[in-house]
Amino acid sequence: MSKIISVNAGSSSLKFQLFEMDDETVITSGVIERIGLEDSIFTIKYNGEKDVTTLPIENHKVAVQLLLDTLIKKEIVKDLDEIKGVGHRVVQGGAYFDQSVIIDDDVVAKIDELKSLAPLHNPAHLTGYYAFKEAIPNAGAVAVFDTAFHQTLEPKSYIYPIPYKYYVENKVRKYGAHGTSHFYVSSRCREMMGNPKHSRIIVAHLGAGGSLTAVKDGKSINTSMGFTPLAGIMMGTRSGDVDPSVIDYLIEEVGLDMKEVIKMLNKESGLLGVSGVSSDFRDVQEAAANGNERAQLALDIFFRRVIAYIGRYFIALGGVDAICFTAGIGENSFFARKEICNLLAEALGIEIDDDANVNGKGDRLISTPNSKVKVYVIPTNEELVIARDTKRLLNL
């Protein structure tokens, strides 16, 4: 019986799922939020119940110890040595890593070196790694990189048309993100299609953060996020693609400094910035339904930015066999799926089965037999990918 815990340490959060890997069942899962504040929130699900506790949690080390103490207290595990592996999600692996790896000093050094490419994430991942290493030193540790799946991109897809020296000397290039999700969803889609030898799939990972990826024969050939997760489609608070001259204009004409502009593009833009209502798609949709014109504009921009990338990847793939919706909006909003597919209907011959779209659950086909492109909803499961890679690399 081998237990593995999948960990996603954010700047102020710690998400986790504990698996029994013999049958890949989830034993327990949860999240610790607002780490560093007096009113941190610890949520844990076990045996069909959910416990929520508010308490001060000083840092990630304290958060990890609280989690492990709770596993013992609730008798989820009798001994921490039952946990044989810890799989850590790492946002940025740069060009160093095209697959998951066992964490050693060299891997730690490279993750740290890449922190400038993911300043909110990579340092937090290392903090989580050290905290678990200290608490359960006998467990092996594996890093699973969001960028690894996109290392199959060719230079023509990841090189920016700026002076080449910045790529050579400073590693400025497209890296992408959400790779673990795109890998899982595209792999599951191929299974649902009968594992064809050749496949052309577009995965739409739509949530508070969002990205689209073109997957040909199981390999990522292009993705919408870029040097950082700021690029690509419009998101909850991120702008996505904008003319870089906007930045200079806001600095010169409005008087903002560079840090203020980048913060604005990351934290105050997207659905929130346009609608003025919320970064949450559900709130914006409700406001639009109640006649809020800016909220409706935000939705219109969001949908059109998504279909623009679908169109771009349709060309890159030489056609498309399947489009997959996943993540918070993609999995849960039948409205968003319907609106996007309606905009694609004439060009791609897509026809949606309204009952499957609205009332279905879990992995499912939501297009009709007449649709020229299959459309799927596939809930993502990054934690399971992390656990599987951890088991494989540690030979558990």
Domains by residue range for the chain, with CATH: 3-145 (3.30.420.40), 194-377 (3.30.420.40)
**Per-residue pLDDT reduced to its tens digit, 76-97:** 999 888 999 999 999 899 889 9
The separation between CA 285 and the C-alpha centre of its own chain, rounded to angstroms, equals 22
Please name which of 316, 317, 312, 310 lies closest in space to residue 375, comparing C-alpha atoms: 310
Q: How far apart are CA 7 and CA 14, in angstroms?
A: 7
What's the pLDDT at 1?
Answer: 65
- Tell me if 379 sits within 8 A of 357, measured CB to CB: no
HEC string for 170-216: HCCCCCCCCHHHHHHHHHHHHHHCCCCCCCEEEEEEECCCEEEEEEE
pTM, to two decimals: 0.89
Q: Enter the DSSP assignment of 367.
A: B
The helix/strand/coil state of 357 is: helix
203, 324 Cβ separation under 8 angstroms = yes
The one catalytic residue in 22, 146, 241, 283 is: 146
202 in Cβ contact with 313 (< 8 Å): yes
Distance CA 108, CA 170 (A): 20
pLDDT digits 0-9 by tens, 19-49: 999 889 999 999 898 888 888 899 999 988 8
Q: Is the dihedral of CA 183, 208, 234, 293 positive or negative?
A: positive
Whether residue 129 contacts residue 108, with contact meaning beta carbons closer than 8 Å, is answered with: yes
CB contact at 8 A, 220 and 150: yes
Annotated binding site for Mg(2+): 8, 382
Residues in contact with 33: Cβ distance below 8 Å, sequence separation at least 6, in sequence order: 12, 13, 40, 41, 42, 43
**One digit per residue, pLDDT tens: the chain, 396 residues?**
689 999 988 767 788 999 999 889 999 999 898 888 888 899 999 988 899 999 999 888 889 889 999 999 998 999 888 999 999 999 899 889 989 999 999 999 999 999 888 777 888 889 889 988 988 999 999 999 999 999 999 999 999 999 999 999 988 999 998 999 999 999 999 999 999 999 999 999 998 889 999 999 999 999 999 998 899 999 988 999 999 999 999 999 999 999 999 999 988 999 999 999 988 899 999 999 999 999 999 999 999 999 999 999 999 999 999 999 998 899 999 999 999 999 999 999 999 999 999 998 899 999 999 999 999 999 998 899 999 999 999 988
How long is the chain?
396
Q: How far is CA 137 from the centre of its chain?
A: 28
Annotated catalytic residue 241: no
Query: Nearest-CA neighbor of 120 among 265, 13, 236, 4?
Result: 13
pLDDT at 37: 81
Cβ(112)–Cβ(118) below 8 Å: no
Compute the radius of gyration of the chain from its Cα atoms. Answer: 21
The binding site comprises 8, 15, 89, 205-209, 280-282, 328-332, 382
Encoding tokens for residue 299? 């939705």
Q: Is 203 exposed, middle or buried (0-12, 13-18, 19+ CB in 10 A)?
A: buried
- Which pLDDT tens digit goes with each residue over 157-196? 999 999 999 999 988 999 998 999 999 999 999 999 999 9
Of 31, 87, 146, whose CA–CA distance to 387 is shortest?
87
Query: Minimal CA–CA distance to 339: which of 273, 278, 284?
Result: 284
The set of residues, in sequence order, having a beta carbon less than 8 Å from that of 318 and lying 6+ positions away, is 200
The annotation places the binding site for substrate at 89
- Sign of the dihedral through C-alpha 265, 303, 151, 382: positive
State both tokens at 312: 């771009």
Cα dihedral 232, 146, 317, 333 sign: negative
Torsion of CA 18, 24, 25, 29, to 10 degrees: 30
